[in-house]
Amino acid sequence: MVIGKQGSILNEIKRTTLWTPQVQRTPAIKSKITESIREVLYANNNYRRKFFNEIGKKIYKEWNPEKVEEWVRLTFLGGARQVGRSCLLLQTPNSKVLIDCGIDVASHGKDRFPYFDIPEFDIRELDAVIISHAHLDHAGLLPYLYKMGFKGPTYMTPPTMDLTSLLALDFIGVAYKQAVAPLFSSKDIKEMVKHSICLNFNEVTDITPDIRITLYTAGHALGSAMVHFNIGNGLHNFLYTGDYKYARTRLLDPAINSFPRIESVLTEATYGAKSDILPPRIESEEKMIEIINKTIERGGKVLIPELGLGRAQETMLIIQDAIESGKLKKIPVYIDGMIWDINAIHTAYPDFLSNKVRASIFQDQNPFILDTFSRVGSHQERRKVIEGEPCVVLATSGMLVGGASVEYLKEFAENKKNSIVFVCYQGVGSLGRQVQEGISETKMNVDGREEIVKINLEVHTIPGLSAHAGRNEIMSFFNNMRPKPKRIIVNHGEVSKCLDLASALYKLNRVETSMPRILETIRLR
């Protein structure tokens, strides 16, 4: 049903049926992924009704906590002292819940995946999965769980479900391009969608007999959530921050740090070192515009490798504002990779965006469909960009580990007039990290054969535009947190950054602080 802008139809439905309709917004940009997901949910309506009924019976089965010794344990299957493959197993006497299920895209071999081959992990005993946000290092392996036979629910926000599906499909496509067998198929992604339960922010939900969760905005990417666990009958309150941004950005509101109760917190440490003091955002934006202006003036092209989710949209808003204010000439800006499809999903969920962007969308001034940006959708169009006039290219992947950004680097790298601008984290071992650290040449596939490509273009890094909290933001997050936690656990960071942050948080808060290794289990209560 097309409702339009008027609420009269909704009010009439509510009055006559006594039910409150759930409205699904149509993306302003045509989105096959959103349409496909809604078709899967509609086609499996009867299955999902039975599925919800079974989940309800499991959650509200009879259980007497007085007859069981209560405890809470957390096992690190991935993401400890590293950025990538975030995956934790939360256990109580009654429940086993997986928190995130990511893959390390910058690594190779077994180091890419969480440890599922340990005694504690039995997929048949898993009650639920919770996904904080859709980035591959947090959700990239979720369809594989369903391929392995998992039939339980996955809890996440509505935009995270759409984005996780899109990134999983792209992950399959990249595998085929690299002549590698994909880990899962589109059938497994459909199974994931069939078993997804979407929650809005601040919505309290029981997921097992003794675990209740609430999702809070994390400010990191569209739909990204901090997960608050209320465990047992007031036994323990645990916050999993996932990735978060404790500052307002153009795209999103900042992370929440006020909760009803809290005893322990697991925080990221991506930019947790003393040296990770991010400059003011306005400074970083001006630096990026300056680099673009200088490169265009000397007849060069600018490549900005982007995380398609979150970072790319932020860059688009910065460039659009710079053009409107006259800080940047109206130049060709090309969007390549899956950024355009992710833009479409942003237009379908304006309630999850910042107040300013949301207001623009509702006033028919959608920033994601302006003619400032041109989509590159074919090999022929890409050749025209490469051979054409000075321009800016936003392309995935953000770490140069496959995708359109690698193709552009191959073509732009040897020309000193060109520039590459890194605006997001570069994983250890990735091509992006190597270029960032100053390699002079690299081996790349050129027309089906391996060749040495010289890296002559200007290399710039702008850390102030990161979607992660910087050192000062993390410290401020805990300084302003209410109530104060009794324990802080640090993960999702390189070893030195985790150590540095854990030490600083201990000195500031005088509470128990730890940074577990992978496969370690800690008792929360």
Q: Residue 307: is its pLDDT beyond 90?
A: no
- Say how far residue 250 (Cα) sits from the centre of its chain: 17
Higher pLDDT, 218 or 508: 218
User: Residue 30's pLDDT is what?
Assistant: 72
Buried b (16+ CB within 10 A) or exposed e, 144-180: bbbbeebebbbbbbbbbbbbbbbbbbbbbebeeeeee
Residue showing tokens 């921050």: 241
Query: pLDDT, tens digit, for every residue of 368-383?
Result: 888 899 999 888 999 9
> Per-residue DSSP letters for 42-96?
HHTHHHHHHHHHHHHHHHTS---GGGS----EEEEEE-TTSSS--EEEEE-SS-E
Residue 524: phi and psi, rounded to 5, are -80, -30
Q: Return the axis-axis angle of helices 311-324 and 281-297, rounded to nearest 10°.
A: 70
Average pLDDT over residues 269-273: 95
User: Residue 447's pLDDT is what?
Assistant: 61
User: Residue 337's pLDDT is what?
Assistant: 85
Name the burial class of residue 57, with classes exposed (0-12), middle (13-18) and buried (19+) by CB atoms within 10 angstroms of its CB.
exposed
**Local confidence band at 65 (pLDDT 50, 70, 90 cut-offs):** low
Q: Residue 2: is its pLDDT beyond 60?
A: no
User: Residue 54's pLDDT is what?
Assistant: 95
Query: pLDDT, tens digit, for every residue of 322-357?
Result: 999 999 999 999 999 889 999 999 999 999 999 999
Q: Rounded CA gap, 504 and 497, in Å? A: 11
Percent of residues, the chain, with pLDDT higher than 70: 97
* Mean pLDDT over each residue of the chain, to the nearest integer: 92
Query: pLDDT, tens digit, for every residue of 229-245?
Result: 999 988 999 999 999 99
Q: Rounded CA gap, 104 and 510, in Å? A: 33
User: Residue 446's pLDDT is what?
Assistant: 63
Q: Residue 207: is its pLDDT beyond 80?
A: yes
Helices (H) and strands (E) in the chain — how many of each? 16, 22
Least confident segment among 52-56, 277-281, 362-366, 447-451: 447-451
Sign of CA dihedral 91, 92, 95, 100: negative
**Local confidence band at 17 (pLDDT 50, 70, 90 cut-offs):** confident
Domains along the chain? Answer: 31-56+69-274+468-523 (3.60.15.10), 281-465 (3.40.50.10890)
- Quick one: tokens of 145? 């769980």
Q: Residue 503: is its pLDDT beyond 70?
A: yes
User: Residue 403's pLDDT is what?
Assistant: 84
Average pLDDT over residues 120-149: 96
